Amino acid sequence: MTQSRDPGQPNGVEEIPPRATPSVDFHNLLTSAAEIQKLRDGCLEAGFVSVTNALPNAPATTQAMERADQFFALEDSDPKKLAVSVRQTGRRYGWTPLFNEPAYEPGTLAYVESFDFGRGGDNVWPELPGFREDMKACWDTVAGIGDRVLAALALAAGLDSHFFANKCASRELSTMRLLHYPANDAPVSANHVGISAHTDFECITLLVQDAPGLELRNRAGQWLDAPSDEGQVVVLLGDMIERWTNGYYRATGHRVRNSNEKRMSIVMFFAVDDSVKVAPLPDFTDADRPARYAAMSQKAHIAAEVSRAERNRDMQKE
């Protein structure tokens, strides 16, 4: 993000305060003024929310998690993995091996491997039965949840319900990530992390995890454990929604601590269509609240932030 604010101190060993993540009910999200108010309060007071009852009868995320587990269980030298390696294919999407995640904070080493895919034609799929089909089903399920969340966030900010969803409709830059954090015996320190502290570059992020590990920074600067209960979807606010609202919504600082226990997550980043220039809306600017951000496209913002984080990572390897 072009703003220079720190999403939080490097991942350390301090105790996470035992506070609950604010939650909203998926089924009533667009029909209940009380749920809209809960969403607004959660975003403004904590900076994030979880959505309950979004996945009670949807096996798509469970099946996708099982397929991801099968894929990540392969040896790194397995031809099925190598065939979809971003290094081998040169594509935007595919498998990124352990320790190759960009370093969002200098001096950090990320104990995570990933498999990324999108809506477009740059995908490459491993030769595992049912993998592609189950991932597409997971994408459709989470995308449907995200569209409802985007509509509710717009209403909670006093905007037309379609504003954010329409600006993210093409999914051309949206990405789904399967993340595997293997068990390891690295020391617990500020340098050895699952993923270092950062904010996401897109509009919103939806996440499902199978074990604790994700930590969220609230508006008071405290790090809290994100819920990992089955059926809960964690919603993080991204840089673009902060830009549009001139800081009314703030992007959620988050990180993943390293652990001696295996952890997996499914993450979907809802990106703004690249034809859209994102700048503070008139509803959130006046003489007392001048615009804090210049207009920027989603692609340019992602490119700048990824480039910076990759330089951090590569310096660490030297």
Mean pLDDT within 72-90: 96
CB 111 within 8 A of CB 182: yes
Find out whether 266 and 176 touch, Cβ atoms under 8 Å: yes
User: Which DSSP helix (H) or strand (E) runs through 242?
Assistant: helix 239-244
Residue 57: per-residue pLDDT = 67
Domains along the sequence of the chain with CATH: 23-269 (2.60.120.330)
* pLDDT tens per residue across span 11-64: 333 444 445 789 999 999 999 999 999 999 999 999 999 999 998 766 899 999
Mean pLDDT for the chain overall: 91
Question: Do 233 and 54 contact (CB within 8 A), yes or no?
Answer: yes
Average pLDDT value for residue range 70-81: 98
CB within 8 Å of 286: residues ≥ 6 apart: none
The pLDDT of residue 3 is above 90 = no
> What pLDDT digit, counting tens, does each position of 258-297 carry?
988 999 999 999 999 999 999 999 999 999 999 999 999 9
User: How confident is the model at residue 11, as a pLDDT?
Assistant: 37
Report the alpha-carbon distance of residue 113 to residue 99 in Å, rounded: 7
In order of 31, 54, 199, 208, 274, the CA distances from 93 in angstroms are 37, 27, 21, 20, 18
User: By percentage, how much of the chain surpasses pLDDT 70?
Assistant: 92
The end-to-end CA distance of the chain, in Å, is 25
The pair phi, psi for residue 37, each rounded to 5°, is -65, -40
Strand order in the sheet with 113-117: 23-25, 48-52, 233-237, 204-209, 263-270, 175-181, 113-117, 94-96
pLDDT value for 313:
84
Per-residue pLDDT tens over the stretch 119-137: 977 999 999 999 999 999 9
| CA distance to 49, 53, 75, 100, 239, per residue, from 28 (Å) | 15, 10, 44, 40, 26
Residue 229 has a pLDDT of 85
Pairing of strands 48-52, 192-198: unpaired
- If you average pLDDT over residues 229-254, what whole number do you get? 95
Residue 19: its pLDDT value, please? Answer: 58
**Cα dist. 159→168, 245, 284, 293 in Å?**
15, 10, 11, 19
What integer pLDDT is reported at residue 18 of this predicted model? 41
* Non-local CB neighbours of 40 within 8 Å, separated by 6+ positions: 156, 157
How many secondary structure helices (H) and strands (E) does the chain include? 8, 15
Residue 15, pLDDT score = 42
Distance CA 265, CA 254 (A): 14
Q: How confident is the model at residue 317 (pLDDT cuts 50, 70, 90)?
A: low
Query: By the 8 A CB rule, do 238 and 250 touch?
Result: no
Q: What is the pLDDT of residue 187?
A: 79
d(CA 215, CA 19): 12
What per-residue confidence (pLDDT) applies to 315?
79
Q: What is the mean pLDDT of residues 92-108?
A: 93
For β-strands 254-257 and 214-217, DSSP reports them as antiparallel
Put simply, whether the predicted model's pTM sits higher than 0.85 gets the answer yes
